[in-house]
């Protein structure tokens, strides 16, 4: 008889024991789980027992939307990079400013200085709650009446065209990045200098078209690299210099296509590649992608993390389906882009600073027991509120600072507040809000739902939702969202992308006076600007770094970087290590894996599972039909460490 415990029966491996119990265990867990149908997309999703415990503990209803639709709904309220010129609505102002709100938006919008000034008080816009109308309609009216900040851009120096940033100097179109200097067309870059067209980099200098890189210098066209310099086309490399077209390399130098050369040979061969040519770079990008497919990918970046699933997660414990978590998280679900010890939170994004017990929020820095809110700073016990700072015990409030016990921006004492909030919660269930889909009221919003997309001040295509989950106008209107029609573009193109010289040496600084047509010509879903200019500072960067002038507008280049990252979805898969390929005529002692495109990956060392295929399973953001070869952590470390 098989005995459970630390000692296994003869010839029974621990993985075999897990397989023995897994069917009954899964059946037991399924009996304890609750299966639901998403109100929005009509797909099924599961509420696990630990999820139910979380919702009961915080006294909030379980969700009626699936995790992906909940994220999309929050992202419909976050415009980062669609910028407009409009006038400040503050009394006595009227000056032109940069804003995320279009000129035809009904929002009352103040410039940064006016909003933070003492000339107005958000309590002046307070109103009584009307129990004859539903909550969300009343909140939308309050939101439009209370002044909003035109642009979150804190302490900029010659960096007016930056959004949701702090402490940037001489930067242009930097989004969500802080404390940078001389950077442009980048997002989520921190403490960087002289970097262009980058995404998620920190402590870098002279980077061009790099994604997910740390502490790199003079690096271009690379991803997932750290401590590398004087290199190009690197993937998942560490502490490398003078390397070209390499993948999964640690402490390398003078390598091309993962082949070692002497310093003299490397310098001679690298001179054969003209990286100043746009056509050559395009060909190298295609060749590099094919080369990286020969090397195994780690199923997920779960660094120093325990009992967690997702991708790009660091120092976390008991976290499920979380993405881009830095600085630690514990006992959380469905996080995206958080940092600094987030605990006991579900469905939050762009948040951090030790936020705790929050649910369905966006941008909480920090917050304790914040629910269905966004842009909440240093506050606690906040419900259905927006852009409130240093507040506590507020429900349905907008733009408050240093306030407590407020409902709809009206002040109450503690007993009055608690009694009124209880009545409103009950009223939200009795008189629910129903959004219109295809002209019909279909999706019901009661207490426990984030704000409906149709009350967002932004069109879907202005927001992060379009970046992560692109849709066309018809699809957006079908889901009840709003589509922002583009303003009339009167660009007088002076040079076509087809006429743009191929090499940087053949272009003079007069290019900064030209209007260049975008190669996509507005025919993509990447919010194409159809035309663009090259600033003098940008052109000098291209000259100094020896890179060609791009043929795509900044928006299309941004979307190209986004497409390099995996989606925020998980698939259950098994490690691909140990697959067999008749095409190679391998012997039984060899371990190989074959991608769906037929690219062969042969291991360099014998793995723990020997000659047999690896049986490890995992949750990964690599879909089963992707061409990459995906290994479990053990097999990956055996090959790359």
Q: What is the structure's pLDDT at 477?
A: 81
Please give the Cα distance from 224 to 227 (Å, whole number): 10
SS3 label, residue 602: strand
- DSSP per-residue letters across 589-638: T--EEE-TT--EEE-SS--TTTTSPP--EEEESS-TTSSS-EE-HHHHHH
- DSSP per-residue letters across 381-413: EEES-EEEES-EEEES-BS-BS-EEEETTEE--
Q: What is the structure's pLDDT at 389?
A: 96
Q: What count of Cα atoms within 13 Å lies in the side-chain half-sphere of residue 491?
A: 18
Same domain, 536 and 605: no
Same domain, 575 and 554: no
Q: What is the structure's pLDDT at 16?
A: 41
Supply the mean pLDDT for the chain: 88
Q: Flag whether 419 is in a domain.
A: no
Same domain, 180 and 237: yes
Please give the Cα distance from 124 to 80 (Å, whole number): 29
Closest CA to 184 of 164, 199, 203: 199
Full domain range(s) for residue 630 = 571-640
Neighbours of 382 (CB within 10 A): 27
| Alpha helices for 410-449 (secondary structure H) | 414-430
Q: Flag whether 23 is in a domain.
A: yes
Same domain, 621 and 529: no
Q: Flag whether 392 is in a domain.
A: no
Which residues, given as ranges, of the chain have pLDDT below 50?
1-23, 25-29, 580-590, 596-597
Please give the Cα distance from 496 to 556 (Å, whole number): 16
Parallel, antiparallel, or unpaired: how do β-strands 259-260 and 297-298 relate? unpaired
The two tokens of residue 143 are 């939101």
SS3 label, residue 161: coil
Same domain, 537 and 577: no
SS3 label, residue 134: coil
Q: Flag whether 114 is in a domain.
A: no
Angle at CA of residue 24, ends 21 and 26, nearest 5°: 100
Q: Flag whether 317 is in a domain.
A: no
Same domain, 256 and 157: yes
Q: Flag whether 519 is in a domain.
A: yes
Please give the Cα distance from 82 to 77 (Å, whole number): 13
Cβ-in-10-Å burial (0-12, 13-18, 19+) of 582 comes to: exposed
Same domain, 157 and 258: yes
Q: Flag whether 199 is in a domain.
A: yes
Q: What is the structure's pLDDT at 612?
A: 83
If one counts the domains in the chain, the total is 4
Q: Flag whether 460 is in a domain.
A: no
Question: Longest Cα pair distance anywhere in the chain, in angstroms?
Answer: 86
Same domain, 579 and 633: yes
Domain boundary among 247, 264, 281: 264
Which uninterrupted H or E stretch holds 28?
A: helix 14-32
Q: Can you say how many angstroms the Cα of residue 138 is from the centroid of all Cα atoms in its chain?
A: 31
Same domain, 167 and 233: yes
Q: Can you say how many angstroms the Cα of residue 640 is from the centroid of all Cα atoms in its chain?
A: 27
Same domain, 253 and 173: yes
Q: What is the structure's pLDDT at 488?
A: 54
Neighbours of 490 (CB within 10 A): 5
Same domain, 177 and 199: yes
Give the chain's length.
Answer: 641
Q: What is the pLDDT of residues 590-638, one digit of tens each?
A: 455 555 445 556 777 888 888 888 999 999 999 999 999 999 999 999 8
SS3 label, residue 245: strand
Angle of the 414-430 helix axis to the 135-145 helix axis, nearest 10: 120
Same domain, 578 and 558: no
Q: What is the structure's pLDDT at 270?
A: 94
């Amino acid at each position: 008889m098989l005995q459970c415990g630390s000692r296994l029966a003869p010839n029974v491996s621990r993985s075999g024991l897990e397989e023995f119990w897994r069917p009954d265990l899964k059946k037991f867990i399924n009996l304890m789980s609750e299966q639901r149908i998403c109100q929005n997309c009509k797909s099924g999703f599961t509420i696990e027992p630990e999820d139910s415990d979380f919702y009961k503990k915080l006294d909030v209803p379980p969700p009626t939307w699936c995790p992906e639709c909940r994220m999309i709904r929050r992202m419909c309220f976050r415009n980062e990079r669609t910028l407009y010129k409009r006038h400040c609505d503050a009394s006595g102002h009227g000056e032109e400013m940069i804003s995320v709100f279009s000129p035809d938006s009904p929002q009352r919008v103040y410039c940064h200085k006016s909003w933070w000034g003492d000339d107005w008080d958000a309590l002046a816009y307070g109103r009584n709650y009307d129990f004859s109308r539903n909550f969300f309609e009343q909140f939308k009216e309050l939101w439009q009446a209370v002044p909003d900040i035109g642009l979150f851009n804190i302490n900029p120096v010659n960096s007016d065209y930056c959004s949701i940033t702090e402490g940037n100097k001489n930067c242009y179109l930097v989004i969500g990045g802080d404390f940078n200097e001389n950077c442009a067309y980048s997002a989520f870059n921190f403490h960087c200098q002289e970097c262009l067209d980058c995404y998620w980099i920190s402590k870098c200098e002279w980077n061009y078209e790099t994604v997910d890189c740390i502490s790199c210098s003079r690096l271009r066209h690379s991803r997932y690299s750290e401590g590398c310099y004087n290199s190009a086309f690197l993937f998942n490399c560490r502490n490398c210099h003078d390397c070209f077209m390499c993948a999964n390399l640690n402490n390398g130098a003078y390598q091309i296509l993962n082949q070692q050369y002497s310093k003299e040979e490397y310098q001679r061969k690298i001179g054969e590649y003209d990286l100043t040519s746009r056509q050559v770079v395009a060909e190298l990008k295609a060749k590099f992608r094919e080369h990286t497919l020969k090397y195994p990918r780690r199923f997920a970046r779960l660094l120093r993390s325990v009992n967690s699933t997702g991708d790009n997660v660091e120092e976390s414990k008991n976290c499920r389906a979380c993405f881009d978590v830095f600085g630690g998280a514990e006992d959380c679900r469905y996080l995206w882009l958080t940092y600094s010890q987030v605990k006991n939170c579900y469905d939050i994004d762009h948040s951090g600073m030790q936020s705790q017990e929050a649910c369905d929020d966006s941008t909480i820095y920090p917050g304790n027991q914040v629910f269905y809110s966004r842009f909440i700073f240093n506050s606690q016990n906040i419900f259905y509120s927006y852009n409130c700072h240093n507040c506590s015990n507020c429900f349905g409030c907008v733009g408050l600072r240093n306030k407590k016990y407020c409902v709809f921006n009206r002040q109450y004492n503690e007993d009055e507040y608690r009694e009124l909030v209880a009545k409103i919660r009950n009223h939200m269930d009795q008189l629910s809000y129903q959004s219109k889909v295809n002209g019909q009221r279909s999706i019901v919003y009661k207490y426990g739902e984030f704000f409906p997309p149709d009350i967002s001040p932004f069109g879907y295509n202005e927001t992060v939702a379009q970046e992560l989950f692109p849709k066309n106008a018809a699809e957006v209107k079908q889901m009840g969202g709003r589509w922002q029609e583009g303003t009339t573009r009167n660009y007088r193109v002076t040079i076509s992308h087809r006429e743009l010289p191929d090499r940087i040496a053949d272009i003079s600084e007069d290019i900064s006076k030209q209007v260049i047509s975008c190669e996509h010509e507005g025919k993509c879903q990447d919010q194409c600007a159809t035309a663009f200019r090259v600033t003098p500072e940008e052109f000098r960067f291209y000259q100094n770094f020896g890179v060609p002038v791009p043929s795509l507008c900044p928006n299309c280049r941004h979307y190209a970087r986004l497409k390099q990252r995996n989606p925020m979805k998980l698939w259950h898969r098994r490690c691909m290590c140990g697959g067999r390929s008749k095409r190679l005529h391998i012997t039984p002692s060899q371990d190989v894996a074959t991608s769906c495109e037929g690219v062969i990956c042969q291991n360099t060392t014998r793995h723990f599972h020997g000659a047999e295929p690896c049986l490890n399973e995992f949750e990964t953001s690599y879909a089963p039909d992707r061409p990459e070869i995906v290994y479990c952590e053990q097999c990956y470390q055996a090959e790359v460490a």
